[in-house]
Structure 1
Amino acid sequence: MTDLKEVARLAGVSRATAARTFASPEVVRPATREQVFAAARQLGFRPNRLGRQLRLQVTKLIGVVVPNLLNPVFAEQFQAMERAARLRGYNLLLATTDYSSERESVVVEELLRQRVDGLVLTVTDAESNRVLQSLDSEDTPFVLAYHQPGNPHYSAVSVDNRAGMALATRYLLEAGHWRIGMVAGPALQSDRARLRYAGYCDAMREAGLDSLPVIEMPAHTQADFAAIAPFLQGPQALSALVCSNDLLAISLIAQLRRNDWHVPQQLSVMGFDGIALGTQMHPTLCSVVQPIEALACTVIDQLLAQIAGATPVTHCLPCHIRPGESTQSYKETLDDSLA
Structure 2
Amino acid sequence: MADLISVAKVAGVSRATAARAFSDPHLLRADTLRKVLTAAEQLGFRPNHIARQLRTQSSTTVGVLLPSLLNPVFARQLQAMEQQARLAGYGLLVATSDYKPEREAAIVEHMLNQRVAGLVLTVADADNSAILQTLHQAGMPFVLAHNVPQTAQWPAICVDNRRAMQQATEHLLGLGHRQIGMIAGPMLQSDRARLRYQGYCDAMQAAGLCARPVLEMASHTHADFALLQPHLRGGSALSAVICSNDLLAISLIGGAARAGVRVPRQLSVMGFDGIDIGEQMAPSLASVVQPAASLGAAAIDLLLDHAPRGTRVLAHQLRGGESIAARAFSSIANIGEPS
TM-score, normalised by the number of residues in structure 1: 0.83
Q: Residues 39-118 of structure 1: matches in 2 within 5 Å?
A: 57-118=57-118
Q: Following TM superposition, by how much is the alpha carbon of 1:162 offset from its aligned partner in structure 2, in angstroms?
A: 0.3
Q: How many residues align?
A: 300
Q: Residues 79-158 of structure 1: matches in 2 within 5 Å?
A: 79-158=79-158
Does structure 2 retain, via aligned residues, the 8 Å contact 1:274–1:290? yes
Cα distance in 1 for partners of 2:324, 2:44 equals: 69
Q: 1:313 matched to which residue of 2?
A: 310
Q: 1:200 matched to which residue of 2?
A: 200
Cα distance in 2 for partners of 1:84, 1:275 equals: 21
- The secondary structure found in structure 1 opposite 2:136 is helix
Cα distance in 1 for partners of 2:140, 2:119 equals: 8
> 150-159 or 69-78, which moves further after superposition?
150-159
Pairing 1:236–2:233 present: no
- The secondary structure found in structure 2 opposite 1:199 is helix
Cα distance in 1 for partners of 2:207, 2:200 equals: 11
State the AA in 2 paired with 1:121.
L
- The secondary structure found in structure 2 opposite 1:305 is coil
Q: Following TM superposition, by how much is the alpha carbon of 1:93 offset from its aligned partner in structure 2, in angstroms?
A: 0.8
Q: Residues 31-46 of structure 1: matches in 2 within 5 Å?
A: none
> 273-282 or 179-188, which moves further after superposition?
179-188
Cα distance in 2 for partners of 1:51, 1:69 equals: 32
Distance verdict in 2 for CA 1:320–1:103, change over 3 Å: same
Q: Following TM superposition, by how much is the alpha carbon of 1:109 offset from its aligned partner in structure 2, in angstroms?
A: 0.6
Cα distance in 1 for partners of 2:329, 2:77 equals: 37
State the AA in 2 paired with 1:234.
G
State the AA in 2 paired with 1:297.
A
Q: Following TM superposition, by how much is the alpha carbon of 1:153 offset from its aligned partner in structure 2, in angstroms?
A: 3.6
Q: Following TM superposition, by how much is the alpha carbon of 1:187 offset from its aligned partner in structure 2, in angstroms?
A: 3.9
Q: 1:273 matched to which residue of 2?
A: 273
- The secondary structure found in structure 1 opposite 2:301 is helix
Q: 2:35 matched to which residue of 1?
A: none
Aligned CA-pair RMSD: 2.5
Cα distance in 1 for partners of 2:308, 2:188 equals: 31
Does structure 1 retain, via aligned residues, the 8 Å contact 2:217–2:224? yes
Identical columns (%): 55
State the AA in 2 paired with 1:327.
I
Cα distance in 1 for partners of 2:217, 2:55 equals: 46
The one-character-per-residue Cα deviations of 1:274-330 (angstroms, maximum 9, x if unpaired) are 000101111100000001121112111110013xxx251210111110000000011
Unpaired segments ≥5 residues, structure 2: 8-21, 23-42
- The secondary structure found in structure 2 opposite 1:330 is coil
Q: 1:326 matched to which residue of 2?
A: 323
Q: Following TM superposition, by how much is the alpha carbon of 1:139 offset from its aligned partner in structure 2, in angstroms?
A: 1.3
